[in-house]
Structure 1
Amino acid sequence: MEPHSENANRSEDAETIAVGSSDSSLRLELAPPELPLLRYCILSVGIQVGLLLSFLDTSIVATSLFAIGIEFKALTTISWVALAYSLAYLGCAVLFARISDIIGRRDAFLVSYIIFIAFSLACGFAKSLTQLIAFRTAQGLGGSGLYSITMIILPEISPRKAQKFLGGMIGIVVAMAGVLGPVLGGLLTEYTSWRWIFWINGPIGGASMLLFFLMWPKPQYLPNTERRTWRELDYLGSILLIGAAVLVVFPFQNVGTLTDRWSQAVFIIPLIIGVILWLTLFAWSIFIEKRWVHKIVPALPMRLLRNRVYAAAVLNTLLIGFPYLLIIYAFPLRLQIVNGKDSLLAGVMLLPMLGSSAVGSVISGAFNSKGNRTFELQIVASCFVVLGCGLLSTLSSSFTLEPKALGFLVFVGLGFGIIVSTATIAATVESSTGDHAVAQGVMAQVRVLGGSIGIAASSAIVGTRIKDQVGSLETSWLPSPEGAGDGLTHTQQIAVQQAYSDAFNEDMRVCAIIGAFAILVSFGMFSRRRLIIPEHSEQHTKERAEKRKSARISTVPTNGTFL
């Protein structure tokens, strides 16, 4: 465990010395020494591999679901393999961020990693679909912690020279994982077994976790963060946040293509309860701020959402997550059904989106390294996403894929890569030291929330199109190398292909509209006073020193009494 007392004493001593120092020396007295560059690089590899694996598993099953459904003879419920991970991943990001304030960043990260690896291996050994769904849920809990805690640790331990490139690095990893998932899933399913999409996390994750443990810095290199207690954890708020996030997405995912259930209780009741939980969460957070601000740390601090720049960045991330994850799932499916591609090739054709996402993150990091350009980049990136989605909506339903489709994916990937990077920077510079963990956790959570709603919306659109053009069909019509769908007549096959082509184009039009709203929201990020990450760190170092100085002055004896 992290030496809490030693770290606290070091913080106390440093700040005591700083009280009598000049402003120019405050940073030197309070800021911990920088981690040696080589050790930092090795440590960051261990951390970012964990981030890569956790986000990879949100999409790696996209091209393997059919093979899993065939083996377990459960095509009608196979979507729960993806849904179980996504819902657990979505619901617990902020909770893990808060727990890291209690038990420490290192221990929280290690616990998350152990849960993730253990249940990844369990997924590979699953004997039934029920077991697989249960193991995927537990795996999602670990993945959620890896995702949110990575976003907290990296800004805290990065040397000043590396901080300016931090947003770009994180953006590259997240963007790569999102697109690499279907590619790797298709590759492993095609040449080995679908079970290897889970087993592969074992050796890679184990090596990464060992690297992280061995390279974790000594206390003197860690920031002076305030350690919380279990009594301060907002248990009710955490439960409300998890329930609200999950129940808003669950009914859309659960109903999926079953369009006749949209007016039934199975859809309406969970959605209404989810909305009520969100309203209750906001009311509870406001109550804590007014009555118990010194007793409980709220799961969702309202002061964060009152920050216009941060709130705009969160909303933009939510909206852009919608088209990005939707395309990661819907485009390979379109390639398989409309264009007759196998799962491997369908995944490989997402590579242009992967490459451009990485380029976008690098561009964002370069622009933000010399000044805070998050406002301008967020608008440009959102425009790229709208342009890409609009162009993708023009694809024809011909059996031969139009090459221009791969070029259109580049615009979406470029925009998403920039946005991931700028959102990470915005969450860092727009939050106080105490709220830093939850600020990154919220940003991580809404990105997955937006994508989950996008995937659910795509399923609904597909269901509507198939019902209008084909009528009721069992899921056995899905195309695959195993020959499923051979029972359909030629006319039905053509109708299914046309329905999926039309549904994808409608998906892209919806995504373009959502992206347009994201552009408008981005204008809320404008600010005349902007800081980059190193300047933000210095500012908070000075504020902590001044606060400590004021507290000590108030207790200095005057004429034999204390003030």
Structure 2
Amino acid sequence: MPLSPLRLRLLVISLLTVSFLGALDHTVVSTSLATIAGELGALNLMSWVVVGYTLASTVLLPVLGKLGDVLGARRIFLGSLVMFLAASLACGFAQDMAWLIAARVLQGMSSAGLQLMSQTIIARVTTQRERPRYMAIIGAAFPIAILVGPVLGGAITDNWGWAWVFWINIPVGAAALGLALVAVPHLEPGPMPRHFDVAGAAVFTTALVALVLAVTWAAERSAGPATAALAVSVLGFVAFYFIERRTPEPIVPFHFFTNRTIAAGTALSAIIGVGLFSITAYMPTYIQMAYQTTATVSGLVPIATVFGMLISNLLTGWLATRTGRYRIFPILGTSLGAAGLSVMAMLPAGLPLWVPMIVMGVVGMGTGAFMSLIVAVVQGAAPASQTGAITATVNLVRQVGSTVATAVIGGVIGFGVPALLPAGLDASTLTPQLVHGAAPDVQATVAQIYGAVFTPVFIALAATYAVGIVAAVLLPHGRLSDEPVPAPQKTSETLSA
């Protein structure tokens, strides 16, 4: 559905604003968690403020993707935005941790709708050739939120109180809602299904919740509950696969994976979650221990990573739209990621901090080269009537990959560091401040231990990107089409080979 240039600009501004709000609400809370837990008196539940949000935003992706195809992306988008504003208001008024966690779950659910429908709407109003540029603009919301979220959250908490971390969404979101009512077009929904896949949605939700609980409990070394949850998850995903193969209207269209573009593109999306998003949470700790820096200075390495991601994301989106070519960018991107992480595995401790900053900046640039582009490419290979479902699937594998890999890396660190520490050092009380104040030989020992533990992690992540090179090479040759997007009832939209 072609739009006038002015309306398209207004639409992009609206979608970028709400995408930024959804991404920011995940990062801005991190620096206010300790204050929130202290005032609400539930330190043991603090992690669920983040886990509840992430879990809700993940499990609803395939359901919302299917609803967007059936009811129309505009309805789901506007409904998600209204729900997000209401949940933000409720978060700020929370009187206890249970209230806050429940409100955060609603925020996560609505954030999934905002993220997913933003990408779906862009896919429906642009040609394949135009799409990478606009998808890159909207995709920039995530790295920008990573850069400014923690600092903004700390400033708001210190000066206005933690409730305003959530309430700040209200005026910005209300303005975006007013703009969206004007700018978001009425898109023709797909054909109404004979029945909605309720069984598939219920089984998938149960299996994914069990998986998140399993990896969370495993990181906490609760072997019994983790094993039970993992068993439930495995059985659930097996059952989900057979349900989706039999139902006429699946929420995850497995049959699309016979398409080489969709299969390779989905694998590349998963590699982003596993290969980079998973390590960012642990990078500051590694830098503080292995390079003997303060907490503030250690944040420079993730900032360099995200900045590289942001620049290459925008650049490759522009180049893909300008030239129509797309295959070269994921090939170069995965190669840079594999090379950068391999170098990280070989860096000796004690080098100047600018060295890992440059190396991880290269990894970020490699990832950004196909982070948003691959979503646009996969959308172009699916029928218009399934745009929401396939967009949800691409995002889903990325988030699940990140969640699982993050927990696995946490487990490796949690077991590896205590096992290598010499007598007299207790892993449970080992802080960067304690290490920095210790004797030089202790500092050197701890730096070597963290280097030894993180080296296989970096090697494994480099291998993940190497698999991504194979997936990128398997993408078919071709150029993005300038043809208008067909109506959703038609199923002829594919990438021109």
TM-score category, normalised to shorter length: 0.7 to 0.9
Q: Which amino acid aligns with 2:57?
A: Y
| 1:507 aligned residue | 457
Q: Distance in 2 between matches of 1:401 and 1:65?
A: 32
Report what 1:234 is aligned to: 197
Unmatched 5+ stretches in structure 1 = 1-31, 546-563
Q: Does 1:254 align with 2:213?
A: no
Which segment is superposed worse, 60-69 or 418-427? 60-69
Give the aligned partner of residue 341 of structure 1: 294
> Structure 1: how far apart are the matches of 2:117 and 2:51?
22
Q: CA deviation at 1:200?
A: 2.6
Asked whether the equivalents of residues 137 and 314 of structure 2 are also in contact (C-alpha less than 8 Å), the reply is yes
Task: Report deviation, 1:499.
Answer: 5.2
Q: Distance in 2 between matches of 1:48 and 1:378?
A: 24
- Residues of 2 paired with 1:449 and 1:90: CA distance? 7
Whether 1:53 and 2:21 are equivalent positions in the alignment is: yes
Q: Is the 8 A contact 1:74 1:129 kept in 2?
A: yes
Q: What amino acid is the match of 1:535?
A: E
What amino acid is the match of 1:321?
G
Q: Does 1:459 align with 2:410?
A: yes
- Identify the residue that residue 172 of structure 1 maps to in structure 2: 140
Cα offset for 1:183?
4.5
User: Could you say if the C-alpha distance between residues 361 and 234 of structure 1 is closer, same or farther in structure 2, counting changes exceeding 3 Å?
Assistant: same
Report the Cα offset of residue 145 of structure 1. 1.0
Rounded to whole Å, the distance in 2 between the matches of 1:500 and 1:368 is 40
Q: Indicate the residue corresponding to 1:155 in structure 2.
A: 123
Instruction: Evaluate the alpha carbon distance shift between residue 187 and residue 278 of structure 1 in structure 2; reply closer, same or farther with a 3 A threshold.
Output: same
The residue identity in structure 2 corresponding to 1:55 is A
Q: Which residue in 2 is equivalent to 1:283?
A: 242
Deviation at 1:432, TM superposition (A): 0.6
CA distance in 2, matches of 1:78, 1:493: 32
The residue type paired with residue 373 of structure 1 is R
Cα distance in 2 for partners of 1:308, 1:490 equals 57
Matches within 5 A, 1:311-322: 311-322=263-274
Cross-structure match for 1:104: 72
Report the CA distance shift for 1:268/1:433 in structure 2 as closer, same or farther (over 3 A). same
Cα distance, 1:93 vs. partner? Answer: 0.9
The answer to whether the aligner puts 1:384 opposite 2:336 as a matched pair is: yes
Q: Distance in 2 between matches of 1:115 and 1:491?
A: 54
TM normalised by structure 1 equals 0.77
Matches within 5 A, 1:320-331: 320-331=272-283
Distance 1:172 1:91, change over 3 A: same
CA distance in 2 between partners of 1:129 and 1:541 (Å): 46
Q: Tell me, which stretches of 5 or more residues in structure 2 are unaligned?
A: none
Secondary structure, in 3 states, of the residue corresponding to 1:232?
coil
In terms of mean alpha carbon deviation, does 79-88 or 125-134 score higher? 125-134
- Deviations along 1:332-368, one digit per CA (max 9) or x if unpaired, are 344556645345x554553322322122122322332
Deviation at 1:45, TM superposition (A): 1.0
Distance 2:379 2:336 in 1: 24
Amino acid at match of 1:449: V
1:520 deviates by: 2.2
Q: CA offset at residue 536 of structure 1? A: 7.1
Tell whether the 8 Å contact from 1:358 to 1:414 is kept in structure 2 after alignment: yes
Query: Is 1:274 aligned to 2:246, yes or no?
Result: no
Cα distance, 1:456–1:164 mapped onto 2, change above 3 Å: closer
Distance 1:112 1:541, change over 3 A: closer
Residue 197 of structure 1 is matched in structure 2 by: 165
Residue 132 (str. 1) matches residue 84 (str. 2):
no
Query: Map of 1:517-556 to 2, 5 A cutoff?
Result: 517-525=467-475, 527-528=476-477, 530-535=478-483, 537=485
> Which residue is equivalent to 1:26?
none
2:207 corresponds to: 244
The residue type equivalent to 1:522 in the other structure is A
* Range with greater deviation from structure 2 (131-140 or 494-503): 494-503
Q: How many residues align?
A: 488
Q: How does 1:345-494 map to 2 (within 5 A)?
A: 346-347=298-299, 349-398=301-350, 402-470=353-421, 494=443
- Aligned partners of 2:168, 2:483: CA distance in 1, in Å? 40
TM-score by length of 2: 0.86
Contact 2:312 2:365 in 1 (8 A): yes
Distance of 1:88 and 1:121 partners within structure 2: 18
What is the DSSP-based 3-state SS (H/G/I as helix, E as strand, rest coil) of the residue aligned with 1:58? helix
Distance change in 2, residues 1:302/1:536 (3 Å) = farther
Structure 1 residue 87 corresponds to structure 2 residue 55: yes
| Aligned-partner residue type, residue 341 of structure 1 | T
Structure 1 pair 512–190 and aligned structure 2 pair: CA distance change class (3 A): farther
1:208 corresponding residue in structure 2: 176
Cα deviation for residue 106 of structure 1 reads: 1.8
Distance 2:29 2:299 in 1: 11
How far apart are 1:59 and its partner, in Å? 3.5
Worse overlay, 92-101 or 164-173:
164-173
Percent of aligned positions that are identical = 23
Q: Residues 124 and 384 of structure 2 are in contact (CA less than 8 Å); yes or no, is this contact kept in structure 1? A: no
CA deviation after TM superposition for structure 1 residue 441, in Å = 0.7
Give the CA RMSD over aligned residues: 3.4
Q: Contact between 1:352 and 1:407, CA under 8 Å: does it hold in 2? A: yes
8 Å CA contact retained: 1:425, 1:533: no
Q: Offset at 1:178?
A: 4.2
Q: Are 1:90 and 1:246, in contact at CA under 8 Å, matched by a contact in 2? A: no
Between structure 1 and structure 2, the one with the greater Rg is 1
Instruction: Please tell me the residue identity of whatever aligns with 1:207.
Output: A
Per-residue Cα deviation, 1:486-507 (whole angstroms, up to 9, x for no partner): 9x98799957776555544443
**Contact preservation (8 Å) 2:385, 2:490:** no
Instruction: Indicate how the Cα distance of structure 1 residues 169 and 445 shifts in structure 2: closer, same or farther if over 3 A, else same.
Output: same
Q: Is contact 1:104-1:227 (8 Å) kept?
A: no
Residue type matched to 2:482 in 1? P
Q: Is the 8 A contact 1:392 1:408 kept in 2?
A: yes
